[in-house]
Structure 1
Amino acid sequence: MEKSELITIQDPKSPVSEAYRTLRTNIQFSSVDNEVQTIMITSSGPGEGKSTTSSNLAAVMAESGAETIIIDCDQRKPTLHKKFLVSNKKGLSDVLAGKAEFKDAVVSTGIDNLDLLTSGTKPPNPSGLLASRRMKTFIEELKEKYRYIIVDTPPVIAVTDAQIVSTYVDGCILVVASSQADRDAALKAKKLLEKVNANILGTVLNKVEAKGKGYYGYYYSYYDEDGNKQKKKKKK
């Protein structure tokens, strides 16, 4: 199977790839007492890079030797099958509806230790499907098979899907595109997640470019074990 063109695969030594590895490390050490195994990625609005972030994060998780699966929970506008160059004929919705077995729907990404479950057939009620007892049970079952489960969801402001999924994952990451996302929208997204008591591990500020020869920045923030917000910057 042909590998996707993720930067962490095509250019693993780039500063951006290193930033994803640092993000991986921060997640792994984000909580000493409670293990973070299931991670949801969302954004305030479309086009902010949540699917790119989730794909590259999953790739570096797998790179560490951990069995990892990435799930496309964006039933309305799925993109992961395009990023990994696979079919979306069978996927999550088909498994939950009992129309396909997991072993027949899950696909290899061509990356060691990384599997993918695409969104599958578009259901008539995506929110209802994600809120079902079967979905919660399914995630629990996957914990027996994989060390990390990365869940890509729709933007949190647009629909309730991300809020629903956030209630049964260990942590959430909010992706915000620099100079694209509205500040109020980003704050609203954060409040919507907090409203359902989601465990927000931190934010990724994506698409950051700083003026100046030979320089660019890739910023991300996270919360340390004392609950204090930290910010890191990778330079080139």
Structure 2
Amino acid sequence: MSTLTAKRSLVTHLDPYSQVSDTFRSLRNMIATSAGEKDRKIIAVTSAEPSEGKTTVAVNLAIASAQTGKKVLLIDANLRQPGLHQTFSVSNHNGLSSVLLQSAGLAESVKDVGIPLLTVLTSGPAPVLSGDPLDSSAMDALLKQARAEYDLVIIDSPALLALADASTVAMKSDGVLWVLHSGISRKAKALEAKKLLARLDAKVIGCVLNKAKSGQASAYRHYQASRA
């Protein structure tokens, strides 16, 4: 990830008075006032396919939520193609995989990224995959601990149609935020993802439509949120 891309991914922190940052605060407020919000501590951010903007949404939603005084944990659950350690320029020596494999605890695996009240759990070293490590008692224990220690947990999930891991994350979450990109998302794949979420009985909070076009000066000014 280039330095410029990483900075754009942190826009709510680096440029808090921009139109983009205001859009993410609106998204935060929409979620905070939606039905069932009091029981919604774990939110998964996903998309039908890769490169639709879900990581940027997860990062900026986490930052915007921390700005309200909430203690927020942001988890990179994309064990095969992680990105949060690059976004925040932190080590990925320990992380989610370390906790799941019980080689390290949550407290020693999370990272302070220099943003008040925001803590990040990167993916950790790529595990030797046998089955679905996210569908395990260790993952259940981690989320139980996170519920107790944080006001909000946001999971940057793999793409729904790319890995089975994403279905597991959706089912273990209290709500799912679905990201679509007008320039990338394919209608057939979006419909397939919608059917999958329905089969999983996932609690979809809403959709974020990313209208950004490649090469625009204001890369994320076209994010829009809507209730599902």
Q: TM-score, normalised by structure 1?
A: 0.86
- Trace 1:1-236 onto structure 2 (pairs within 5 A): 5=7, 6-32=10-36, 34-125=38-129, 128-208=132-212, 217-223=222-228
Q: Write the distance in 1 (CA, Å) between the matches of 2:193 and 2:117.
A: 32
Alignment gaps of 5+ in structure 2: 1-5
Alignment gaps of 5+ in structure 1: 224-236
1:18-49 CA distance string (max 9 Å, x none): 11001101111112475211100011111111
Contact 1:108–1:116 (8 Å) recurs in 2: yes
How has the CA–CA distance of structure 1 residues 52 and 99 changed in structure 2, closer, same or farther, with 3 Å as cutoff? same
How far did 1:124 drift?
A: 2.0
Contact 2:71–2:117 (8 Å) recurs in 1: yes
Contact 1:208–1:219 (8 Å) recurs in 2: no
Q: Write the distance in 1 (CA, Å) between the matches of 2:174 and 2:36.
A: 13
Contact 1:153–1:162 (8 Å) recurs in 2: yes
Q: Write the distance in 1 (CA, Å) between the matches of 2:31 and 2:59.
A: 15
Equivalent AA in structure 1 for residue 138 of structure 2:
R
Q: Secondary structure at the match of 1:167?
A: helix
Q: Write the distance in 2 (CA, Å) between the matches of 1:14 and 1:81.
A: 24
Q: Write the distance in 1 (CA, Å) between the matches of 2:226 and 2:130.
A: 31
How far did 1:137 drift?
A: 1.9
Q: Secondary structure at the match of 2:149?
A: coil
- Percent identity among equivalent residues? 37
How has the CA–CA distance of structure 1 residues 122 and 162 changed in structure 2, closer, same or farther, with 3 Å as cutoff? same
1:81-126 CA distance string (max 9 Å, x none): 0001101011011111110122211110100000000000111227
1:31-75 CA distance string (max 9 Å, x none): 247521110001111111111110000000101110001000000
Q: Secondary structure at the match of 1:220?
A: strand
